[in-house]
Amino acid sequence: MVPQKAGINKTLTDFVAEARAFAYDTYLPALFKGNRIDEVKKMEITRSLTYFTGLNSTYVQHADLKILINRFRSELLRDSNLVLGQLDGRYTSAEIDRTADSPTLGDPASYKIEAAYTALLYDYFGNELGVTMKRPYLTGNDDIYPKWNWKTTPEGQGWEPSYVNTAPQLATTLRRNPNMRILVASGYYDLITPFFDAEYTFSRHGFTKDQIEFKYYQAGHMMYNRREDFESLSKDLLKFYTQK
């Protein structure tokens, strides 16, 4: 069934549940078929993606049903000359290059708040802890990120370059320690570590359901930037840490 109007008379939780069902039951099988999907079904998927993403159907068709995050961030509000934040899709910023297929100025969810974090930490280090800072505190460092060692093997051992996946090791740890529990906190507007990606990861790799607990917040990567979710996260963490 193809939804008619996005978000009409629905809570965010209900809308997310609808999107989750579409991803598992309809979208994934369509992507698996690739160009073997018939045109009628492809148009049905296009209408659904238009409903769920807000992108126009022509763009979805040109993208061959595959919407990349950075392109989504640039395309959704292109007519308003705005791009979305990646750490938090609730943040927007004006774009210089209206033809760019990805944001050219970085992540507005980062550069719109990082100065506040830097000032707060300088104040805390200096006035509360009495620490003398001899070098600048950086909330992000583009010079360092490329130098990070992503290998999951010790130095000198072979490694096939790929995305790092530590889920199997974590699942093994949980199997060895059945009393261990994991709390997965996700922001619905997080476009860099999406909540569905976390669900997808913990639904395989040998994890058991009873050791994993999911909590969701109406914010982004740093859900505590929204006051209501700061309070909710605090309560959820306290309950998680003190449960027997």
- For the chain, the domains span 1-67, 69-134, 166-244
Can you give the pLDDT at residue 134? 84
Can you give the pLDDT at residue 144? 77
The pLDDT tens digits for 131-146 are 988 888 877 777 777 7
Can you give the pLDDT at residue 1? 39
Is the Cβ–Cβ distance between 38 and 57 less than 8 Å? Answer: no
With CA atoms as reference, report the closest residue to 236 among 209, 215, 211, 206: 215
The Cα diameter of the chain in Å comes to 67
Is the Cβ–Cβ distance between 188 and 195 less than 8 Å? Answer: yes
Can you give the pLDDT at residue 153? 79
Give me the architecture of the 166-244 domain, per CATH.
3-Layer(aba) Sandwich (3.40)
What does the radius of gyration of the chain's CA atoms come to, in whole angstroms? 21
Tokens at residue 205, please? 């790799």
Can you give the pLDDT at residue 2? 42
Can you give the pLDDT at residue 3? 45
Residue 92 pairs in a beta bridge with 84
pLDDT < 50 regions, the chain:
1-4
Can you give the pLDDT at residue 74? 97
The pLDDT tens digits for 90-121 are 999 999 999 999 999 999 999 999 889 889 98
Sign of the torsion angle spanned by Cα atoms 147, 111, 192, 101: negative
Name the DSSP letter for residue 176.
H
The C-alpha atoms of residue 188 and residue 173 are separated, in whole angstroms, by: 28
Can you give the pLDDT at residue 171? 96
Residue type, 210: D
Residue type, 107: D
